[in-house]
Amino acid sequence: MERKQKRIGWYFLLTASLMICIFSFYPMISALITSFKNSTGAQWIAETGKPWYYNYQRMFQDKTFMTTLKNTFLYLLVQVPIMLVLAILLAQILNNKDLKFRGLFRTCIFLPCAISLVSYALIFRSLFATQGLVNSLLMSLGIIKTEINWLGTTGTARGVIIFALIWRWTGYNMVFYLAGLQNLDYSVYEAARIDGANGWKTFWHITVPQLRPVIIMTFIMSINGTLQLFDESVNLTNGGPAGTSMTMSHYIYNNAFGTGVANFGYASAMSFLVFILVAILAVINLKVGDSRD
């Protein structure tokens, strides 16, 4: 009977395991193999007289790729902390039982992540156009005297992408923190108030430590998503000006499909580097967040 129960359990897992192998592990292995081949993926790099690691060597000599790498980490280091801090603060505020219309506020903050990626990028592109609503509003308030080319200047184009990411994904992460807060024991907060702890001390010493697993999860998810950032770079700035706001995923796409001349070997090498970066940062997050001895 015990063997039969174990066998039935494996039957239930079989379909999901096969899907993971087909759609996750197989593409990773295939990309690794292709990264050691030429542009068409039909011939090994070593057979062309170049080093077998040529595609990986080429990445660090490619100025455009290095720019996309810096851009991606800039978005990661600026956007992710701001977004998660805002998400946890909003969750703390909207978890207040005495707050009126909290359901409406939660819905409004969450709605941006329900909008199509392409749609919201095009809306932001329209808002931050040279003659868009943002420039018109700033000029009417007297903050600026001439129109700003938001999407045509490197610094402001990157800033628009960061702002768009924060606007879209803060509510998404807030939902995870809300779920975590609602599972915390309310009596702990009552005891803290009796002991004289103010709001900040209660938040920092009680809420944050108990939400650590959720915080780690959202950090890993946000890092994973930012390192694979594609839609905003393509639809919002198109990588401009001159590729200075382009992300790694955008550049990988251009090499594989977007430039008219496919270079699958080089694109696979870059995509495998992204996979390694995601894995390394995920492990670091897990190690840093693990409080066990």
Q: Count CA atoms within 13 Å of residue 92 on its CB side.
A: 17
| CA distances, 223 to each of 151, 218, 246 (Å) | 24, 8, 17
Handedness of CA 281, 284, 290, 292 (dihedral sign): positive
Domain ranges of the chain: 14-289
Half-sphere exposure of 257 (CA within 13 A, CB side): 3
Q: Per-residue pLDDT averaged across 200-213, rounded? A: 81
Structure confidence by residue, pLDDT tens digits, 122-170: 889 899 988 889 999 999 988 888 889 999 899 999 999 999 999 999 9
Name which residue leads in pLDDT, 10 or 83: 83
Encode pLDDT of 261-281 as tens digits.
Answer: 788 899 999 999 998 888 888
Q: How far apart are CA 34 and CA 40, in angstroms?
A: 9
pLDDT, mean of residues 64-88:
94
The answer to whether the beta carbons of residues 275 and 269 sit under 8 Å apart is no
Average pLDDT of span 279-293: 73
Is the confidence at residue 293, as pLDDT, over 50? no
- With 50 as the cut, is the pLDDT of residue 218 above it? yes
pTM of the model: 0.86
Helix (H) or strand (E) holding 137: helix 133-140
Residue 250 CA from chain centroid, whole number: 14
pLDDT of 246 > 90? The answer is yes
What homologous superfamily does CATH list for 14-289? Answer: MetI-like (1.10.3720.10)
Structure confidence by residue, pLDDT tens digits, 26-35: 988 988 998 8
